[in-house]
Structure 1
Amino acid sequence: MQVLDSIRKERCSPGQRAYEHRSLFHRPAHGISWTPPSKQREKDPYCLRTVSGDGLVAARHLWHYNYQPTVYYPKQSKNELYQRLATQLKNLGVPFTEDFDGALKDTSHVIDAIFGFSFSGEVREPFPAVIRALKETTIPVTSIDAPSSWDIENGPPSEGPGKGFYPTALVSLTAPKPLAKFFHGRHFLGGRFVSPDIAQKYDLELPEYDGIAQIVELDPQTGQRLKL
């Protein structure tokens, strides 16, 4: 966890990498929007997003790729960056909903972006019911960085609403997190902006990306790169 926080801080340090937080949202989110099975836009156009910053940006990318995202964002942040991201979606006419269960009935894919990898503690309202719905639905669910309610180190919880929640796919951003060893579905890595010196400093073994690809698929057992 300390390594992940160090990488994040170093990427945003003006004297080091000079990335802005908004650019760090955009690059991984672009990778999320390229992740199968969401490529089948004609057959599978409706996406319901439960939202973090990455989820907001990914929803915008999906709209531009001719998907029809709906955003569930019950606790809207007062942070200026998040407000700007939400405004961008509203300007595109992307609908926001407070009725998660109702929206779930009309969607064909869910992007789980409720919590980031720094989540810890109890799942608070209104999210326990949402996570239970994600666990029980037969609709494909893709989680960003960490399935919501999972511990970054120890993976799925042994109790609570997230017990037994295993999404269809996982998209790790920057690098796979320790919890990935507990995940056995399709696993993708997105966000190809880690510089060689950071990879060397933190001993990150990152796979190569093909051409202009924004994602690579990883073997859930070995963590090694698979060909898409």
Structure 2
Amino acid sequence: MSYDNILLNKEDKVSTIIINRPESLNALNAQTIKEISSALEELNSDISCRVVVITGSGEKSFVAGADIKEFSDFGQEKAEELARNGHNTLFNKIENMTKPVIAAVNGFALGGGLELAMACHIRYASENAKLGLPEVTLGLIPGYGGTQRLPKLVGKGIANEMIFSAKMITAQKAKEIGLVNEVFPIEELLIKTKELANVIAHNSPMAISKAIRAVNLSDTDKGFEAEIKYFGEVFELDDKKEGVTAFIEKRKPNF
């Protein structure tokens, strides 16, 4: 499939989605959301792809936010539809992918851009990255999961401070509060992200898929039962047999 607003690169077991709207600092509009969603569906069904990396084009911006011009005249009904469609089309889809999705945050990650990064399973950032949820300065609130995912990552107090003040934070501050995993110079960001992706790609894809589901339920009362269920299920899978056999035979597993 061809895309207008994103680039899709497939390299061995790691695929990279590059949001490519540099003229608007890679802002998310409806078409871009749809294209990222389509690329994720393509990659989720591609058995050669083990890990997905999402980043922005250039060195200034991961995603500078949503394209406000698209919804500036919406009323309540259309606004609720916009948010619901965003969750269903993209943000929840990322979180529930059967393959790990890593955000390589290269610059501004604001509003919908930070919400996109937070939907990913892991976040690496460049030293020049600035992250924030500025919606209240427009008389809005985060609508693509910001009020839900941010408190889970950094705690309610810090989440409230970021949302209520609308202040941007540095990449280093984001690491200190647990919003991003690691921070690198901009020229090393994608290299380091792909290094991690390649480590993950050599582990059991079947086990990782089950682990994603269990982790996603970790803040609910279903988390422990989900872990027990998926722990049992992997014992019937070929990857478990290969992994245990390789361990006993003192060799690397071939997943």
Task: Verify same fold: TM over 0.5.
Answer: no
**TM class, shorter-chain normalised?**
under 0.3
- Return the structure number with greater helix share: 2
The alignment's TM-score, normalised by the length of structure 2, stands at 0.26
Structure of greater Rg: 2
